[in-house]
Structure 1
């Protein structure tokens, strides 16, 4: 691992996180992958090592679990502590209902994952950045941070919080030479809608019908780009949509 760069990616078992891990591995980075599904992490580790010959450290925990996050990150092997980039990708939307009809358990899961999980992991990695004298936090937000849409209520609120936290991190960590980038994707054809719609494949398919949504690899390529800027350059905030989508409210669908 000598002279190699290290990235830690949360929520790496699927979607953006998996694609980001693969993209950085292709670029020669060593990867710390985290997620809740041990079997998926194991599969990804095997694929990365076989295809790219880089080192991979899988850490199985839920970012909602503050104790687990603290224990795992505080006890990284010495050779894995030289982290260069943290990607806070773990997050989800649950349910699509009006405010007065939404499931409060869904609200709490989104708040605990999208906001608290990001905070726990960021604080867990910061001591390594501070010791190194530099670092880069990349927070995966959403166009939902920019435009609140019907039946998006608390999900939109959590992504607005990610945007605000990213701005606060950027300000508070300036003296420590820590970059902070927020990337806000629009509609992307991953497991996102399937999770949001609680496994309803037919309804999930309708979300992406009639246009070419973003793909996970698109966000992976962008993340790789922002992480590989010169030391004096920080890209603070990016909004990314497919061509058919203007923002979180307007999408043109054919047919």
Structure 2
């Protein structure tokens, strides 16, 4: 998931885009660039909260008899995941609309972007859908494989207040769409006991998500530096209210 976000930011040539917009004095698109930056920092901040709370629950986990004792509110985590889904959807739309505008100026930007994100239900769509359903995808792999890991296994942590009553095998079969081919799915619910904590432990040990989050923040900080070097604060902020209203974003 973090690798997916890093891939998106590294593929978009924000420096080239910013230079084109600056030369043409396009303040509305400059404001959209600023909102993409703000949205990316919100995504990073929320991801950090999620990782901190999951790691704290893992570190404080105890097994007493048949009971698992840990400090984690599944309703809160599911709410945070839903909010993150909305964050991704907003950023996805902002980038798409920016590229649509740039097609008029220089089609090269649009072609580069659309080559790996072909539609508004493209590369981030699977992530948005899983997060909205209270699931945290654990795949840290090439975007062409996402949401599966490099070993072809689909791994998610699923947060519900009560134990799920659905037929889990049937649910897993259609969770990633059914194309007639069997998939190996590890959709582990917070009420699954040992299995939940084992897969979470493996995730923190094998994938080092805190390190990947640092890398994502470094990429985002580089994007911020580009904006600060290419635009004045007046350029970036003049049309912010107009762009926010267009997307229904809170001030």
* Range of TM-score over shorter length: under 0.3
Q: Which has the higher strand share?
A: 1
- Does 1 or 2 have the higher relative contact order (CA < 8 Å, sep 6+)? 2
Q: Of the two, which has the highest radius of gyration?
A: 2
> What TM-score results when the alignment is normalised by the length of structure 2?
0.26
Larger helix percent:
2
| TM-score w.r.t. length of structure 1 | 0.26
